[in-house]
Amino acid sequence: MNYDFVSIEKKWQDKWFKDNTFKAVDFHPTKPKYYILYEFPNVSGGNLHMGHMKGTIPADALARYKRLNGFNVLFPIGGDAFGLPAENAAIKKGTDPHEFVRDGMKRFEEQFKKLGMSFDYDRTICTSDPEYYKWTQWIFLQLLKHGKAYKQRGVVNFCPNCQTVLSNEDSQGGKCDRCGGDVVQKERNVWFLKMRDYCEQMLGNIDRIDMAESLKEAQRNWIGKSEGMQVSFDVVDENNKKLGTFDIFTTCIETIYGITFMVLAPENKLVDNLKNNIKNFKDVLAYRKKTALRSEFDRLSDQKEKTGCVLEGLFAINPVNGKKVTIYVADFVLAGYGSGAVMAVPSHDQRDFEFAKAFDIPMVQVIEGDCSKHAVEKKEYLEKNYKMLNSAEFTGLDVKTAKKKIAEKVISLGVGKKTTNYKMQDWSFNRQRYWGEPFPVVFCDHCGIVPLDEADLPLILPETKDYLPNKNGDSPISKITDFVNCKCPKCGRDAKRETDTMPNWAGSSWYWLRYCDPHNDKALADFDKLKYWGSVDCYTGGTEHITRHVLYAFFWQNFLYDIGAVPTRDPFLRKMGSGLILDDTGKKMSKSSTNGVSPMEVIDKYGVDAARLHVHFLGGYEDNTPWTYDGITGITTFLDRVWALQDMVKGDEISKEHIFELNRLIKKVGEDYENLKLNTIISALMIFIKKVRDDGFITKQELRDFLLLLNPLAPHITSEIYERVFHAEILDDSWPKYDEKYLVEDVIQIPVQVNGKLAKVVSIKRDLNQDEVLEYLRQNYPKLTEGFEVKKLIYIPNKIINIIK
């Protein structure tokens, strides 16, 4: 007899939705809090895809499990709606973004309902709602007020296709994150957030969070902490007249006697400052222009051919030995890292080596090793602790000692100091696009950049039909003159508004805080509520944008903590990245690919309980799993058998036939929910149901416990059976307890090995001592010990016996 999943599932979903059954209670008087967050979906798609099944279901199961265990669970949802992804999708569809987002949010809600998600729908937020982005703007004002936001001309990533500036995070590998096109470098006036100030704090967050090591490493790499020295070099002309100085950063101070040239990034300011002394300044400008347009193709090309341009007429003086060397500009030196300049030691750095070969520059070897084919780099010379050469008083010392002594010398000469460098840059924070949070600032000829009064927030995004990106890379908002022209809040004279908008990451960098108090119009959230809900206990979601998103989250949370707006530095205690669902070619199943199977299709065919179980029976939460319908019959058979339990009820209390299995099951399933190991929960439940069917009956109490164990994963069918059998609501019941005394049986089966090889499995009383075991074996299994002397008996009580002969 099959159960009618269509009507049963709808019945419960309607009820949960209508009653908002899963409402979280602020300041619950007795229950402990538990905060589960699922990464809110981006409204760009408007439809849930298989990837969402991987992330939502475990979060929902954990939420339901925790509620049954007496927790006051906060499990909210919302939509990430501002920014390029939604705007590009809206443009493609030819809809106004406002309307596009409204539709998308509605569709998400319907689909989440169909998934049986136990969200608190009263707390739903959307980042493009003025009530929400009021507080995104408020946070920006605080950043500005505390010197963590600044506007500056700088060389930044620009996507010619999307017509906007992008952050480093949004242009990884030289490709636009949204359209995949090549990103070029452009000089522009840009808002930056001082994320670099938070490198150490963020590294602390990474250490404290419970998250996969690979994700932690990706984030540490992105921050890119590196310890070394900053050293000052004088710049002179042919006649040794001092023209200025510049700093370099190095992690290999021990090679300083090997410098044969210096290299600046093409954009380095020194080039502009000394342009009158550079004889070939025209060539330098031409080189600059060329490198700015270098595309992805050039950068990835295998040759990695070194290009550059000498600065004729300028020389640098090595502070340790007074040696005069040539200066170049070259694009292998990055303007944004360190001070945008390096000392070049071709014998001991492979890039310098290649550059020296290309430009025919001499080399000086200062550490042992064979430098004829390639540089002997620090990995090799430090590991082998080679001796120093050609390094004045340090010649003959081993490298490790020399490194310390040379550093001391540089410091005592007053030309250097120990420093720490980070790869991470400040966050370029504006986009020349329509669909985003307007910046709450105006530009006044008299007062400069003037922030709006907090009382005037939100600054509403003006409506317009002309929202397509501009060809010249200006924001379309610049055309809305009655928005742009305004009065300066400070002096009252005519002023203009900022017309760029914030990036899509703005709204998602603090949204977990808003869920604690989503309707507050006095603060981003009430401080006591933030304190009550605290850090997110478990945060699930995809891994696609995890490095960026989590770092941005750490950054904002730390900033808000420092200004006293939130009670903790750690937004999340545990972050789980769900694996991908792969299609039949082993590639990521994407929403756009034609072979993508929609979750709604699976739900319509098999029911949502079956779909929920199937996706997570396929493999572990953090593993990639290939999608297939194969095996779903195993799940539907299981659910049919669960349904059939109603007709097998006999007796009330737990039977002696099932007491051990049931207690073990309760223990195992509970542990597996905590660790989100849903696949083994399902198999454990299958094993139990097989036992029940073999015995031909289940008691009422056993059925009750079984339904509770399955409820977090398959909430509909279990709610229905519970109601039919017990005439009550399963959600009013609580998680079954197990008793330790039923986890162990008096007579156990344990393996006996001879010389480490399995010989026999024997039945034996629990908790015998070693002598008793040997005696027992001699009595009952004489063959195991006959014919040889037992040299040694290894007996791990109740686990294994190993006889050594």
Q: Map the footprint of RNA across residues 631-650, applying CB under 7 A.
A: 631, 633-638, 640-641
DSSP codes joined into one string, 93-110: HT--HHHHHHHHHHHHHH
Closest approach, Cβ 398 to RNA, in A, equals 20
515-574 binders of RNA (CB under 7 A):
543, 547
Q: How far is the CA of 757 from the CAs of 21, 686, 764, 775, in angstroms?
A: 56, 32, 19, 21
Nearer to RNA, 224 or 396 (CB): 224
Q: b/e for 149-166, b at 16 or more Cβ within 10 A?
A: bebeebbbbbbeebbbbb
The yes or no reply on residue 260 touching RNA (CB under 7 A) is no
Nearer to RNA, 284 or 333 (CB): 333
The yes or no reply on residue 624 touching RNA (CB under 7 A) is yes
Q: How far is the CA of 194 from the CAs of 146, 197, 575, 643, in angstroms?
A: 10, 6, 25, 58
Dihedral sign computed on CA atoms, order 382, 388, 393, 397:
positive
Structure tokens at 721: 């059976």
Closest approach, Cβ 565 to RNA, in A, equals 30
Nearer to RNA, 214 or 464 (CB): 214
Q: Would residue 360 be called left, alpha or beta, if left means φ above 0 and alpha means ψ between -120 and 50 degrees?
A: left
Nearer to RNA, 153 or 792 (CB): 792
Binding mask 468-487 for RNA (x = CB under 7 A): --------------------
The yes or no reply on residue 723 touching RNA (CB under 7 A) is no
Query: Taking the C-alpha atoms of 78, 82, 86 and 92 in order, what is their torsion angle to the nearest 10 degrees?
Result: 150
Nearer to RNA, 98 or 641 (CB): 641
d(CA 206, CA 221) in angstroms, rounded, equals 12
DSSP state of 210: B
Find tokens 């602790």 and name the residue. Answer: 385
- Tell me which stretch binds RNA (CB under 7 A): 51-59, 273-281, 745-753, 772-780: 745-753
- Tell me which stretch binds RNA (CB under 7 A): 56-64, 69-77, 438-446, 750-758: 750-758
544: CB partners within 8 A, 6+ apart: none
The yes or no reply on residue 373 touching RNA (CB under 7 A) is no
d(CA 468, CA 482) in angstroms, rounded, equals 18
17-76 binders of RNA (CB under 7 A):
none
Closest approach, Cβ 628 to RNA, in A, equals 7
With beta carbons less than 8 A apart as the criterion, state whether 578 and 58 touch.
Answer: yes
State which H helix or E strand residue 668 sits in.
Answer: helix 659-674
The yes or no reply on residue 593 touching RNA (CB under 7 A) is no
Nearer to RNA, 279 or 588 (CB): 588
- Tell me which stretch binds RNA (CB under 7 A): 46-54, 244-252, 408-416, 532-540: 244-252
Binding mask 764-803 for RNA (x = CB under 7 A): ----------------------------x-x-x--xx-x-
d(CA 473, CA 637) in angstroms, rounded, equals 59
417-456 binders of RNA (CB under 7 A):
421, 423
Please, is 582 exposed, middle or buried when counting C-beta atoms within 10 Å of its C-beta (0-12, 13-18, 19+)? middle
Closest approach, Cβ 243 to RNA, in A, equals 22
Selected binder of RNA within 60, 349, 705, 720 (CB under 7 A): 349
Closest approach, Cβ 72 to RNA, in A, equals 30
112-171 binders of RNA (CB under 7 A):
168
SS3 of residue 404 by DSSP: helix
Selected binder of RNA within 47, 95, 251, 646 (CB under 7 A): 251
Nearer to RNA, 299 or 417 (CB): 299
Nearer to RNA, 340 or 458 (CB): 340
Selected binder of RNA within 295, 485, 755, 770 (CB under 7 A): 755
195: CB partners within 8 A, 6+ apart: 424, 425, 426, 427, 551, 552, 555
Selected binder of RNA within 293, 460, 743, 761 (CB under 7 A): 761
Nearer to RNA, 253 or 703 (CB): 253
**Which backbone phi and psi does 288 adopt, to 5 degrees?**
-55, -50
Nearer to RNA, 492 or 631 (CB): 631
Q: How far is the CA of 27 from the CAs of 33, 72, 524, in angstroms?
A: 9, 9, 18
Length of the chain: 805
**Apex CA 512: angle with CA 508 and CA 516, to 5°?**
140
Nearer to RNA, 143 or 375 (CB): 375
- Tell me which stretch binds RNA (CB under 7 A): 71-79, 317-325, 681-689, 771-779: 681-689
How many residues interact with RNA (rule CB under 7 A)? Answer: 80
Nearer to RNA, 724 or 783 (CB): 783
Closest approach, Cβ 425 to RNA, in A, equals 9
Please, is 139 exposed, middle or buried when counting C-beta atoms within 10 Å of its C-beta (0-12, 13-18, 19+)? buried
Selected binder of RNA within 135, 505, 617, 673 (CB under 7 A): 617
Helices (H), 275-398: 281-292, 296-300, 350-359, 378-384
For residue 708, give the amino acid letter: L
State which H helix or E strand residue 509 sits in.
Answer: none
The yes or no reply on residue 626 touching RNA (CB under 7 A) is yes
- Tell me which stretch binds RNA (CB under 7 A): 35-43, 82-90, 330-338, 390-398: 330-338
SS3 of residue 72 by DSSP: strand
The yes or no reply on residue 746 touching RNA (CB under 7 A) is no
83: CB partners within 8 A, 6+ apart: 431, 433, 435, 436, 502, 503, 504, 505, 506, 507
Closest approach, Cβ 219 to RNA, in A, equals 8
Closest approach, Cβ 582 to RNA, in A, equals 9
- Tell me which stretch binds RNA (CB under 7 A): 95-103, 297-305, 310-318, 521-529: 297-305
Q: Beta partners for 328? A: 263, 310
Q: What is the 3-state secondary structure (H, E, C) of 144-206?
A: HHCCCEEEEEEEEEEECCCCEEECCHHHHHHECCCCCCECEEEEEEEEEECHHHHHHHHHHHH
Nearer to RNA, 313 or 619 (CB): 619
Closest approach, Cβ 73 to RNA, in A, equals 26
Structure tokens at 547: 């490095």
Selected binder of RNA within 123, 306, 409, 704 (CB under 7 A): 306
Nearer to RNA, 476 or 577 (CB): 577
- Tell me which stretch binds RNA (CB under 7 A): 25-33, 209-217, 380-388, 555-563: 209-217
The yes or no reply on residue 221 touching RNA (CB under 7 A) is yes
Closest approach, Cβ 68 to RNA, in A, equals 22
- Tell me which stretch binds RNA (CB under 7 A): 84-92, 106-114, 139-147, 676-684: 676-684
- HSE at residue 488, side-chain half, CA atoms within 13 A, is 14
The yes or no reply on residue 682 touching RNA (CB under 7 A) is yes
The yes or no reply on residue 747 touching RNA (CB under 7 A) is no
Q: How far is the CA of 445 from the CAs of 145, 323, 487, 492, 536, in angstroms?
A: 20, 50, 11, 11, 45
Nearer to RNA, 465 or 783 (CB): 783
Binding mask 170-199 for RNA (x = CB under 7 A): --xx--------------------------
